[in-house]
């Protein structure tokens, strides 16, 4: 019995020592998120002692990532996918910094990394969970005939795409969405929506999102206008939209004007230099000397860091010196009044002459 009690005590002591050792060796997981193809730091710190040996290892893929001992890098056993992409902060090792710098981060780099430090004292281990993300950058939205298409590419992890309208409508947003992944494991996503023929001024919004960010692109078809050969104002209809970039296009492909509100730069294409007269603060454009060759679709594209708003306006060119219908009506009324006044004056004058003749 006494021997059994001693064995139990010894077993408990061994378990306690092992438990305490585990607590000192493993410091728990550190979460690190890195941008695709950017530089990333995997943190690791230790208690400084003599004979420092550092070994970074990918537990997920069982690859040797980076080794350091005898006061220098030892990369003979480094896996080839990390070649020329890893480094330590050597001037800070003596202060207890064994962090790893990884450049050109790819999706393949995701996983758990172990930082193993051995010195004359007890080993020290820390784990880092590396996740990679490629944020949604550009969302392209375009209308062709009765279909509107929204797409984006170069995204990780797999994105989600949703449609909505402003104001909210009872339209059933039946869409067809496809998702593909390339050799770099980045995702592209595309979705198409069938438009209703009576949806003028209805704003269609496409939002593409991941756990790290989202971007929205919106499109609408404004009421067609009749332009003039002398002066035509085409509106963006975006009074409440704060934008940093403005782009005007003709028939979806021909650039008219490209303007940055951030640095104040503005570029007008050579083909439209004579036609562009003015651009307002809200993005509306004033064109002059238009001809029938400039009939078509004018696209205003406003964007900022998170959103893009596109408005399409169909313009038909008619003759005349003004596009202001109200002004034309006023001018016609004024002419009629002047003619009536002249007629009345001549009538009165004629009648007065007749009365004078009768008197004589």
* Architecture field, domain 134-216: Sandwich (2.60)
Q: Read off the pTM.
A: 0.75
Q: Indicate the SS3 state at residue 290.
A: coil
Reference 237, options 296, 298, 289, 291; nearest CA is: 298
CB 188 within 8 A of CB 151: yes
* Architecture field, domain 222-322: Sandwich (2.60)
User: Tell me, what's the pLDDT at 196?
Assistant: 75
* Domain layout of the chain by residue ranges: 24-130, 134-216, 222-322
User: Tell me, what's the pLDDT at 340?
Assistant: 60
Per-residue pLDDT of the chain (360 residues; tens, 9 = 90+): 444 444 444 444 434 334 334 434 444 589 999 999 999 999 999 999 999 999 999 999 999 999 999 999 999 999 999 999 999 999 999 999 999 999 999 999 999 999 999 999 999 999 999 999 999 999 999 988 889 999 999 999 999 999 999 888 776 777 889 999 999 999 999 999 988 776 667 899 999 999 999 999 999 999 999 999 899 999 987 767 889 999 999 999 999 999 998 888 999 999 999 999 999 999 999 999 999 999 999 999 999 999 999 999 999 998 654 444 334 444 445 565 656 665 665 655 665 555 544 444
User: Tell me, what's the pLDDT at 26?
Assistant: 45
Domains 24-130 and 134-216 agree in fold: yes
Q: Spelled out in words, what is the top-level CATH class assigned to the domain 24-130?
A: mainly beta
Contacts of 193 (CB under 8 A, 6+ apart): 147, 148, 149, 150, 163, 173, 174, 175, 204
Reference 70, options 86, 88, 50; nearest CA is: 50
């Amino acid at each position: 019995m006494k021997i059994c009690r001693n064995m139990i005590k010894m077993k408990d002591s061994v378990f306690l020592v092992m438990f305490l050792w585990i607590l000192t060796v493993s410091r728990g997981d550190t979460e690190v998120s890195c941008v695709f193809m950017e530089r990333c730091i995997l943190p690791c710190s230790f208690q400084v002692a003599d004979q420092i040996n550092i070994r970074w290892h990918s537990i997920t893929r069982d690859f040797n990532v980076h080794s350091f001992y005898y006061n220098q890098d030892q990369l003979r056993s480094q896996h080839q996918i990390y070649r020329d992409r890893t480094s330590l902060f050597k001037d800070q090792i003596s202060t207890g910094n064994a962090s790893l710098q990884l450049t050109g981060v790819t999706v393949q780099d995701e996983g758990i990394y172990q930082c193993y430090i051995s010195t004359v004292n007890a080993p020290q281990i820390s784990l880092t969970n590396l996740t990679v993300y490629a944020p949604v950058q550009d969302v392209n939205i375009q209308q062709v005939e009765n279909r509107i298409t929204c797409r984006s590419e170069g995204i990780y992890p797999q994105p989600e795409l949703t449609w909505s309208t402003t104001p909210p409508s009872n339209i059933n947003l039946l869409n067809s969405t496809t998702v593909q992944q390339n050799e770099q494991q980045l995702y592209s996503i595309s979705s198409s929506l069938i438009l209703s023929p009576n949806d003028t001024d209805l704003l269609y919004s496409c939002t593409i999102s991941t756990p790290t960010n989202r971007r929205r692109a919106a499109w609408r078809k404004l009421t067609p206008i009749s332009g003039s050969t002398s002066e035509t104002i085409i509106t963006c209809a975006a009074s409440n939209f704060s934008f940093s970039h403005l782009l005007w296009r003709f028939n979806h492909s021909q650039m008219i004007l490209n303007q940055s509100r951030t640095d104040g730069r503005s570029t007008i294409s050579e083909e439209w230099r004579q036609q562009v007269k003015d651009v307002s603060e809200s993005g509306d454009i004033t064109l002059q000397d238009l001809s029938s060759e400039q009939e078509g679709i004018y696209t205003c594209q406003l964007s900022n860091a998170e959103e893009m708003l596109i408005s399409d306006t169909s313009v038909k060119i008619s003759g005349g010196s003004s596009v202001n219908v109200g002004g034309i009506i006023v001018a016609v009324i004024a002419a009629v009044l002047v003619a009536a006044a002249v007629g009345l004056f001549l009538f009165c004058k004629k009648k007065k002459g007749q009365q004078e003749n009768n008197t004589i």
